[in-house]
Amino acid sequence: MSAEARLASPPNDRPAKRARIESTPAGELKPYCETDVGITEYINPSAPGFSAIIKQRYTDFLVNEIDLEGNVVHLTELRQKEDKKPETEATSGEKKEEVVVKEAPKEEEKPKPIEEEKKDFEITPEGRAEMAALIGEECLEKVIQLVNTNGASAASGPVLTRADLDKDERTNVHQTTRKVFPGMFETEMIETGAIKFTLLKKKQRNQRGGDRSKPRVNRQVEQKTWEELGGEFCHFYLYKENKDTMECASILAKLLKISNKSIGFAGTKDRRGCTVQRFSIHRIKHERLQNLNKSLYGFKIGNFSYSPHQLALGQLKGNEFTITLRNVKAENVEQINTAMQTLKEQGFINYFGMQRFGTSSIGTHDAGILLLQSNWEAAVELILAERKFMRAESVEARRVWKETKDPAKALKLMPRNCVAEYAVLQAMVNTGNTRNYSAAFQAVPRNLRLLYVHSYQSYVWNLVVSERIKNFGLKPVVGDLVLVEEEKVEGKTQDVVDEEAPELETSTMHNNDAPVVSTVPKVKILTQEDVDSGKYTIHDIVLPTPGTEIQYPKNDTKQAYVDIMAKDSLNPFDMYRSVRELSLTGNYRKIVYRPSTVSWEIVKYSDGDKQLVRTDLDLLMNTNVEAGERGQDGAFTAIVVKLALGTSQYATMALREVLKMDTSSNFQAAMTAKGEDKLPVE
């Protein structure tokens, strides 16, 4: 059956879940399309759609993170301004402040050393007054004595300030010490809150500018404490192309020779696209980070700052998407504008997108069913099974496992980037037991283990929301649920994710071993009085994903959960499992979402292989789109769509409402291959 024919099949005609997993030969399976995972309804089904290609090029999909304050994150600099090399008058075209550095005398001009009687350090009256006001006369005398005895006086004990200094006072001590005793001391706050003075060795003083008799080309950067910088975490923006977030984090950790746990980020981003997001690294200064740019392939870092706090998953408001839809086929411009205006005013059904369910002929939710059934053997076999649309490099390993059940042989052939499969086989080899399926599955990284069961929750939610809209339409009804307020439920994990990067979205990630605190909010069940009041609209209605800590609707929608999960031998009212992480708490999700901003531009172009929108890196490097790529005389039409979404919304589902066509990757890949805007190869 063709992808188009399968898309057209009614949802009820699709095979039962268990039959798909156990009975259907893998070679006959087709990749999932939208109707297979419950994506069937539209806000305005009567409005005509139009065809277009999504993500023909990775530069057609730009994602910029939105921080908690609502600021859109853009990469605007690769080096901090004070670290940039000063331009000369000739290159800059304007006069710069002169920086005079005396040259070292030539070898024959160097004066001969003269033996001099050692003199005590002379502090200026102004310097003495400033330091005494900050640390007191007694402490100041000890500091001066350290210099005059070349540190010998430290034998009687360290030189410490009083412990009750506030942050501003400590900052003043650090700064004034560097001014009055240039390059002589390292000052640091100890656990008591006092500041400790450590006299630097002469070699260190020269490096820090203490010995001014020797020439130094670069005197502009003096060492600052973490407190003076703003905190122990260096925050920066990461721009990447065709790479996923975890891959970039691993590369940085390797180059810096640090643990992955030192790196934090607020959300994961889609691999296929150009994305910008915030990162944090513990106790690495920006000078070291910005110098990595020359070694980075596929991503760059910049816009450095400091904070006392690490970035953690969920610390973002959402994402701004700039999406180029290519090879648009519409009857006229009015049809496009009407569809986009409908999206802007009414929003879209808030389905979990196709990325949530994987791209092979066996979905991640298929494994989730087996895990919730505690069928460990079937789950492991499913993960290792042959299938269509899988990684080509894993085909032979899967075949060997199927024919021999020898984990060692299969492991030698399994690529490491097939993370779950590799982990399962490695566990079997390490234990020498091929029948302990539960232990083998527990070897899979936690983020992937959770991905399977969360994917099933999403699958059920999609099917239920379709039933809700078919039965009741786009208006609130008695028994519907609306959010009241959020409250923290300690000790439970919450699916804090960036929905456009599903392969990682359920993870607590490597940047924080502690589970994310659940925020399952309270809900209100609508009464007839609530409905009649007109206070609530379809944009207020929520539905839960199945779990232990949620409330189901008090109308016919509740029965939809029962009927849908019964087909998989599961019960929505029995979600506790002996394995704690599989006891899902559930959460609420709005059934219709209206983007905070929607805008669009219709453009003409002539070559489908040329990019139409400049990325952040293009703007930073002042790279222009080549002449002729966009223009009024182009033979093809594209729409550049910009919209802002929350962290739990899929941009592809917003586009689906406009296009009225399947957004699955395999369907889109087929359209791209047939694209008329591809120039013939000569």
SS3 678: coil
Cα 355 from Cα 663, distance rounded (Å): 10
SS3 540: helix
Strands 61-66 and 274-282: parallel
Q: What would the 3-class secondary structure string for 617-672 be? A: HHHHCCCCCCCCCECCCCCEEEEEEEEEEECCCCHHHHHHHHHCCCCCHHHHHHHH
SS3 334: helix
Angle subtended at Cα 526 by Cα 524 and Cα 529, rounded to the nearest 5 degrees: 130
Q: What are the E-state strand segments in 263-362?
A: 263-265, 274-282, 299-307, 318-329, 348-349
Cα 160 from Cα 168, distance rounded (Å): 17
SS3 445: coil
Residues 6 or more apart whose Cβ sits within 8 Å of residue 573: none
Cα 58 from Cα 71, distance rounded (Å): 24
270 catalytically annotated: yes
Active-site residue, from 36, 60, 244, 270: 270
> Is residue 641 within 8 Å of 323, Cβ to Cβ?
yes
Tokens of 398: 């899967």
SS3 332: coil
Q: Comparing C-alpha atoms, which of 558, 523, 532 is closest to residue 476? A: 532
Q: Which amino acid is at 666?
A: N
> Is residue 487 within 8 Å of 522, Cβ to Cβ?
yes
Tokens of 367: 């494994």
Q: Which residues are catalytic?
A: 270
